[in-house]
Amino acid sequence: MDTLSVDHLLGIKYLNREDLELIFKTAATFTEVLSRPIKKVPSLNGITVANLFFENSTRTRTSFELAEKRLSADVVNFSAGVSSVSKGETLIDTVQNILAMKVDMVVMRHPNPGAGIFLSKNVPAQIVNAGDGAHEHPTQALLDSYSLRRHWGSVEGKKIVIVGDITHSRVAISNIYALQMQGAEVMVCGPATLIPKHIGALGVKVETDLRKALNWCDAANMLRVQHERQDISYFPSKQEYVKLYGLDKTLLDSLDKKITILHPGPINRGVEITSEVADCDQSIILEQVENGVAIRMAVLYLLASKRMN
């Protein structure tokens, strides 16, 4: 049987092209399962998964939970706000205590970059990174690519621009790795203050003019400005950001070709994109959410099957 080259999903950076193809192939079988009247398979029967969310989340957390339940895993949920973390417990202690209750896999979102890597070296469970600070958000990038592939067949040779707050975005970094690994060309676009100075070293194009970027691309992934991760003001005002980097229907319709619109959510309607753009037929935002469950089922299934071998 085909297997992943890794025991944990910590970031796209640690995967190879074969891993990506295996994940997409497996996700396609789960997409089929999800189209059935009874959307449940016994693959993770007897496996217990803990969802540890030390940061707010709606769709990622729900998506993981649904994926686990549809694979018949036993699921425990843990949120930092209502736990002993607020009483000063360390991350390792928190997780060791949960593992003492015989948990096999941990899905973790944490504000610190590298939190998942740290955990994978210190506890005997398989770790899935559901977002670690501004580092990586691998399942988001996988579902973004999977959504594009379901439209195009392949992303090879395609041009994708990631627009917005690149500096504070784990979605941007994971997407850059995933898309490049599949042979796509990637550009980042946003205010110069929100683009890391050395990002060109990753082999991406950099553009500060939104119209030029949109005319170059086949698809645009519109990111939210991550105010919660910004210590200072990176642009003069929200109005100015909207004027220069917001995508409305007039701009979209004036482009040379029909491009595809993605957004990882949560959307700030009227800031990075207008409602009209979010809900138009070029937007695949809800397909991304739908595909997220199949991708997470694939990741959990492939990791669990390594454990059973």
Residues that bind ligand NCD (CB under 6 A): 59-60, 131, 137, 140, 170-171, 224, 226, 264-265
Dihedral class, residue 18 (left if φ above 0, else alpha if ψ from -120 to 50, else beta):
alpha
Pick the closer one to ligand NCD by CB: 73 or 164: 164
| Residue 172 C-beta: closest distance to ligand NCD, Å | 9
**Would you say 48 or 140 has its CB closer to ligand NCD?**
140
- Based on CB atoms, which residue is closest to ligand NCD, 140 or 260? 140
Q: What is the smallest separation between the CB atom of 186 and ligand NCD, expressed in angstroms?
A: 17
What are the beta bridge partners of residue 53?
A: 79, 109
Report how far apart the first and last C-alpha atoms of the chain are (Å, whole number).
10
**Side-chain half-sphere CA neighbours of 190 within 13 A:** 27
With CA atoms as reference, report the closest residue to 107 among 304, 274, 265: 304
Closest approach of ligand NCD to the CB of residue 165, in Å: 8
Q: Report the alpha-carbon distance of residue 259 to residue 211 in Å, rounded.
A: 12
Torsion of CA 30, 31, 35, 40, to 10 degrees: 20
Nearer to ligand NCD by Cβ, of 131 and 304: the residue is 131
Closest separation between CB of residue 153 and ligand NCD, Å? 25
The backbone torsions φ and ψ at residue 247, rounded to the nearest 5 degrees and listed phi first, read -110, 115
Q: What are phi and psi of 64, to 5 degrees?
A: -65, -45
Reduced to 3 states, what is the DSSP secondary structure of residue 139?
Answer: helix
Q: Give the three-class secondary structure for 70.
A: helix
What single-letter amino acid sits at 160? I
- In terms of CB distance, is 43 or 268 closer to ligand NCD? 268
CB of 206 to ligand NCD, least distance (A): 21
* Minimum CB distance to ligand NCD smaller for 98 or for 172: 172
Report the residue number whose CB is nearest to ligand NCD: 224
Q: Are strands 105-110 and 74-79 parallel, antiparallel or unpaired?
A: unpaired
Axis crossing angle, helix 91-99 with helix 115-122, rounded to the nearest 10: 50
- Select 229 or 306, whichever has its Cβ closest to ligand NCD: 229
**Measured from the CB of residue 164, what is the shortest distance to ligand NCD in angstroms?**
9
Smallest gap from Cβ 292 to ligand NCD, in A, equals 8
Residue number with CB closer to ligand NCD (158 or 170): 170
CB of 225 to ligand NCD, least distance (A): 8
CB 181 within 8 A of CB 16: yes
